[in-house]
Structure 1
Amino acid sequence: MNELITRDLHQGLLTLTFNRPDKLNALNTAMYTQLGDQLLAATEDAEVEVILLTGGPQCFCAGNDLKDFLDNPPSDMDSPVFRLMRLVMALDKPLIAAVAGPAIGIGTTLLLHCDQVLVSRSAKLRMPFVPLGLCPEFGSSLLLPRLLGHARAARLLLCNELLTGEQAVEWGLANELHEDGEQCLAAARKLAERLQALPQDALRISKRLLKDAHRQELEVTVQREGLLFIERLHTPEAKAALRALVKD
């Protein structure tokens, strides 16, 4: 199997890197499966203390692979993409994202579930679900209004607004802004070291407490969004929008 998600474990820090640079790290079914497997293994591995998710210093993730979505759309809530979502939401170990370049679609909604998000000035966040004939996913219709207020959430989810790295920090979608991707990655590793220096059981209990108050509501939202997303993928509107962007 090709390493579409590379894994590096060093002194308790597990770095998972999207590794499909020729496609700007667009996620296909195999990548969802591999990333889900890596997160499940990390949950069960006592050596893993903190998880860092990145696409490298140039590009985080260009969203879903549109051709894969047309050729192999998720059929139910057990599909790899939705399994990944459940695994991310169930993580009790800290999850840090280091974001450079494009973070599109699920490349942005994934960040809503990270405990810390660091971005470079090159970061570009966008959720083009409506232009693709689709609907929000990964709990974004719940989390974004709660985080940003309705008006700003609507600018992102309805109006396809693009946010720079600087704007992402200003709006509260990210914690820190760094000059370039290399600095962003270095800062993320330093932040991981700070978390690793803390009592680990207390850290995980505290993360669970932060998440538990809204966990059930979030799970219900992800389920509802997911079913609607699957339904939308089969509509003429979505198929036409996706085909218009897919190159053979």
Structure 2
Amino acid sequence: MTDLVLRDDKDGLAVLTLNRPDKLNSLTVGLFKQLRQHISDIRRDDTVGCVILRGAGKCFSAGHDLNDISEGEEVPSRGWHSETLRMMEKLPKPVIAAVHSHCYTGALEVALAADFIVAADNAKFGDTHAKWALTPIWGMSQRLPRRVGIATAKKLMFTCETILADEALRIGLAEQVFPVADFEAETEALARRMLENSAFSHAANKRLLEATDSNPLDAGLQWEVMENEGTGPDMQDRINAFVKK
């Protein structure tokens, strides 16, 4: 079977690579099945502390494979793509979407399910559902406005316009932009900085942010106090190491 999603582990970092470079990594059911399996495996793998999701070849992904759609793709169940992305979103470890060049529509829905997006300076983003008389079913209508605000999300969805990396950074779609020549190294360096910190805290913080997203402030503060997960098993070792410096 062709490896449509590659996994490469190194010192706590798992790099998942969408691997249909001859088709600009366009997204098929077969690719999603392999992505879903990797997500399930990583959830159970305590040696992985951070994940980078990237694309092979010329771009991150040009989006949902329109040939798959036109030929009547066989989806395992209703909402299965969305469920797969939700599984990735809820991984108890940081997930970075590393976007270079094209990232359109379904590909943007995939990237938005990561904890945040970093972009190469040649990245291009867009939502073209309306161009093809489609509506989102993988999460665009929920994640995009949470990331950039509802008015900006409407503008992007209604116009189907393509925005470049600097604009994605300005509106909060991307968190950081790196020169394309240094993109892989800079993204890995960012992931390594996260790996230096407590995996316990990363998992607890993700659950806290998830549980209180969009809650009124007082309700969120109360949740933080009452549902706080306390201290991690590595707390004392980390403090002792700092004190001894």
With the shorter chain as reference, the TM-score category is: 0.7 to 0.9
Could you tell me how far apart the structure 2 residues matched to 1:79 and 1:139 are?
10
Q: Is the 8 A contact 2:21 2:57 kept in 1?
A: no
Q: Is the 8 A contact 2:17 2:55 kept in 1?
A: yes
Mapping of residues 1-248 of structure 1, within 5 Å: 1-56=1-56, 58-73=58-73, 77-78=77-78, 80-180=80-180, 182-214=181-213
Could you tell me how far apart the structure 2 residues matched to 1:192 and 1:201 are?
16
AA paired with 1:17?
A: T
Larger mean Cα displacement after TM superposition, 98-107 or 114-123: 114-123
Does the C-alpha gap of structure 1 residues 126 and 179 become closer, same or farther in structure 2, counting only changes over 3 Å? same
Q: Is the 8 A contact 1:33 1:81 kept in 2?
A: no
| CA positional deviation for 1:83 | 3.6
Q: Is the 8 A contact 2:119 2:176 kept in 1?
A: yes
Alignment match, 1:226: none
Q: Is the 8 A contact 1:26 1:63 kept in 2?
A: yes
AA paired with 1:131?
A: K
Q: TM-score, normalised by structure 2?
A: 0.81
| CA positional deviation for 1:142 | 2.6
| CA positional deviation for 1:76 | 6.7
Larger mean Cα displacement after TM superposition, 94-103 or 112-121: 112-121
Could you tell me how far apart the structure 2 residues matched to 1:72 and 1:17 are?
26
Q: CA offsets, 1:176-211, max 9 Å, x none?
A: 11121x412211101111111111111111111112
Could you tell me how far apart the structure 2 residues matched to 1:97 and 1:28 are?
18
Q: TM-score, normalised by structure 1?
A: 0.80
Could you tell me how far apart the structure 2 residues matched to 1:30 and 1:62 are?
16
| CA positional deviation for 1:78 | 4.8
Q: CA offsets, 1:142-201, max 9 Å, x none?
A: 332333233211111111021101111111001111121x41221110111111111111
Q: Secondary structure at the match of 1:118?
A: strand
Could you tell me how far apart the structure 2 residues matched to 1:115 and 1:146 are?
12
| CA positional deviation for 1:79 | 6.2
Tell me: higher relative CO, structure 1 or 2? Use CA pairs within 8 A at least 6 residues apart: 1
Q: CA offsets, 1:10-50, max 9 Å, x none?
A: 00100000111110000111100000000110000111110
Could you tell me how far apart the structure 1 residues matched to 2:201 and 2:145 are?
30
AA paired with 1:115?
A: D
Q: Is the 8 A contact 1:32 1:80 kept in 2?
A: no
Structure 1, unpaired ranges of 5+: 217-248
Q: Is the 8 A contact 1:99 1:184 kept in 2?
A: no
Could you tell me how far apart the structure 1 residues matched to 2:152 and 2:170 are?
12
| CA positional deviation for 1:107 | 1.1
Identity of aligned residues (%): 30
| CA positional deviation for 1:73 | 3.0
Q: Give the number of aligned pairs.
A: 215
